[in-house]
Structure 1
Amino acid sequence: MEKKEIELLLQAIKNGSLEQFEIIIDHYQKPIFTYCYHMLSHHQEAEVAVQEVLLHAYEHLEQYTTALSFSTWLYRIAHNYCVNVLKRRKLSRWLPFLYKQDHGGSVKEHSDRPNREESLERIWNRLSAEERTLVFWRVLEEKEYEEIAELLDKPPEALRNQFERVLKKCKRYLPTMEGVAANGQKSV
């Protein structure tokens, strides 16, 4: 969907056409779910996150400006939501009497996975939310640093340097990281 088409839909929604928001939901639901799932590593939490992100976007649509693309604005909302969930998780480890830990439905359900996949999962869990975001958009979504810079409100060169540091960090934990080239592109 092109930016102009999205802007027309958003204007119709602001004018009271709730039906047009269904088109927005259909278009962005899967990519936002994918991002939230990679951030949270939990299917049910990612589903809840998508609902919360899209609801927040609808309720705060008047705050959206065309300075950012709508996609970037949605991802920013998703990023903030996921960071808050991860903070609550971290806090729940320290204050177990205040929070219940839910391990049901987690990515860790499968005990028969190869050891390498488990190692990658452990590395992924050691990354901060911002590092996960950077890796997700750079490697999995193949976004340019300029696009990521809009979301994280950081200079592209700083993100490039941060990405290189994250790769080095990952390589320390797993000496042979096949599938990711030094420049962050998928290797074949």
Structure 2
Amino acid sequence: MVGAKASITCPNLFSKLIMISGTPKLLNDIDYYGGFEQEDLDQLFDGMRSNYKAWCLGFASMVVGGDLESVLVQEFSWGIFNMRPDIALHVTQTIFLSHTRIILSLVIVPCHILQSFNDLAVLVAVFEHLQHNLGGKSIVKVMSMEGHLPQLTSPNIVIPILLRHIKYDIC
């Protein structure tokens, strides 16, 4: 969504956007289902404050997908564990509480939306919302893998799809 904002500010720098597991808002609203209630997020943030190490491992398992013994889960967990807890909390709050739905219609460059078929953070309703509300042309490619970080968990699938979308022109 940072790229979407940048494309509005400097459209001449962008010929297209490719969004992997992109979402304009994770928090549910009256007319929008992002997947998380405020209570869920409060618990997430409280977990970070109370036992950061345990939160890192649990969050990594949830986001990456897989058991706690998975090498990818361990590596992702280690990466977030090495952040200062206060900074990690601020970054997590920024991600989970951000709201960019209001700018979607201003994004006029073509958008390629790449999405796992089963992503616990970005639900089908979210990428459908993106496709219907972006100002430019958009296409959705649902990839045959699970998880929120397919570029990490299934690079052998994501890289060829990404390369095709880099070359593909939907104008």
Task: Give yes or no for TM over 0.5.
Answer: no
- Higher strand proportion (structure 1 or 2): 2
Q: Radius of gyration: which is bigger?
A: 1
User: Whose helix fraction is larger, Structure 1's or Structure 2's?
Assistant: 1
TM-score (norm 2): 0.32
Q: Of the two structures, which has the highest relative contact order with CA contacts closer than 8 Å and spacing of 6 or more? A: 2
